[in-house]
Amino acid sequence: MKLRYGLVLSTLLLFGPSPARAAAIEYSVGVVGVTTPGGEPVHRFTYTFTGFELEAFQEVEIRFSPLQFVSIFNPVGDGIDISVVTYQVNNPPGAAGTFSVVSLIDAPSLIGPFSVDAILSGPVPNHLSFAVNRLVPGTFAFVEQLSTDSANYVPEPSSLGCVALSFVTVFLGKSLRPRRPI
């Protein structure tokens, strides 16, 4: 009887209605090559936006800390309803770089792809901060910051497979171990 209730509860939790979610950004990172004179690898940060309902001249500004990044370049985004641009790390010295995604119309599609290439000064960060800003139509001058949050790193699927394989190996190793007679 307990098993039946457990299965019903598990099914409801897995397939039941999902709670309302706030706007979120997730990103994955892949190495796209070594094209710098110093031989540093170039990483591509690819973004997925969920729950955003931008109005015209609202900006999602993803920030790149000068402590973690050397350079950002090659912004990619939907060029019809969205304008994308990068502002360089350490320009002026100590300033964060930004990947700016600006809505040119109300409620644009944010399906993407959205990406930017970067040279890192260390490991891939687990979080990048972002802000949603209101801009002046036509001049794109900053008016006000509407909200802030952080984008979350989602490891590549191959990394997730290695983690899952290690859990399965540990589980099988423990379950197949001979038991001592009592």
Q: Mind listing the pLDDT tens digit for each residue in 35-57?
A: 777 788 999 999 999 999 999 99
Nearest alpha carbon to residue 32 among 49, 22, 44, 24? 44
Report pLDDT digits (tens) over 98-131.
999 999 999 998 988 899 999 999 999 999 999 9
Where does the pLDDT of residue 62 fall: very low under 50, low under 70, confident under 90, or very high at 90 and above?
A: very high
Rounded CA-CA distance 29/91 in Å is 24
Say whether 19 sits in a helix, a strand or coil.
coil
Residue 140: pLDDT over 80: yes
Domains contained in the chain, CATH given: 41-153 (2.60.40)
pTM for this model (two decimals): 0.72
